[in-house]
């Protein structure tokens, strides 16, 4: 049986869908991490894995196949030059999906699609250090609520 073997349609026409996939692949390989909806990330994940596997072959034919899906020569050079060698010993599972909450406008589930062995930038390290230094959630929120209640009680008295 071939139930549900059709792939991800995402409510788009074929040309629009493939353009979306190409753009997401270019962004993923350029930045090594993108934020998108869960459905788009799941649709692109397999293509990204296939592109990295092709790049590990490092042949002219593989380069042309990747260039057919990733229409940016600079990004294709990066995939073959830095990304594929990084995953030389790995036999798959080059990407991960991390849930990132919901989008405010339409409540769509957002995720981070990223390469597994990506190098962290100094800005990201600073942000993570700042998050650790903040006060625990319970302390700041509870005391703030109490102060507001105290102010309103004293004002009414």
Q: What is the mean pLDDT of each run of 10 residues along the chain (157 residues)?
A: 84 95 97 96 95 95 96 95 93 95 95 88 77 67 54 59
Q: Could you tell me the CATH number of the domain that includes residue 15?
A: 3.90.1030.10
pLDDT in the model for residue 123: 77
pLDDT in the model for residue 142: 52
Question: Helix crossing, 38-57 with 60-69: angle to 10°?
Answer: 160
pTM of structure: 0.75
pLDDT in the model for residue 153: 60
Please tell me whether residues 76 and 102 are part of one structural domain: yes
Residue 75: CB atoms within 10 A of its CB come to 19
Please tell me whether residues 135 and 102 are part of one structural domain: no
Please tell me whether residues 30 and 95 are part of one structural domain: yes
């Amino acid at each position: 049986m071939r139930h549900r073997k059709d792939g991800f349609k995402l409510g788009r026409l074929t040309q629009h869908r493939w353009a979306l996939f190409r753009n997401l692949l270019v962004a993923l390989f350029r930045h090594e991490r993108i934020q998108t909806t869960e459905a788009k990330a799941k649709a692109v994940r397999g293509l990204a894995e296939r592109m990295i596997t092709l790049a590990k072959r490092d042949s002219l034919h593989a380069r042309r196949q990747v260039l057919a899906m990733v229409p940016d020569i600079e990004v294709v050079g990066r995939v073959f030059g830095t990304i594929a060698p990084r995953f030389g010993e790995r036999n798959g599972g080059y990407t991960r999906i991390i849930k990132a909450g919901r989008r405010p406008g339409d409540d769509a589930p957002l995720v981070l699609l990223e390469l597994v062995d990506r190098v962290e930038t100094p800005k990201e390290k600073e942000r993570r250090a700042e998050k650790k230094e903040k006060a625990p959630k319970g302390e700041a929120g509870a005391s703030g609520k109490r102060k507001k209640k105290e102010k309103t009680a004293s004002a009414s008295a």
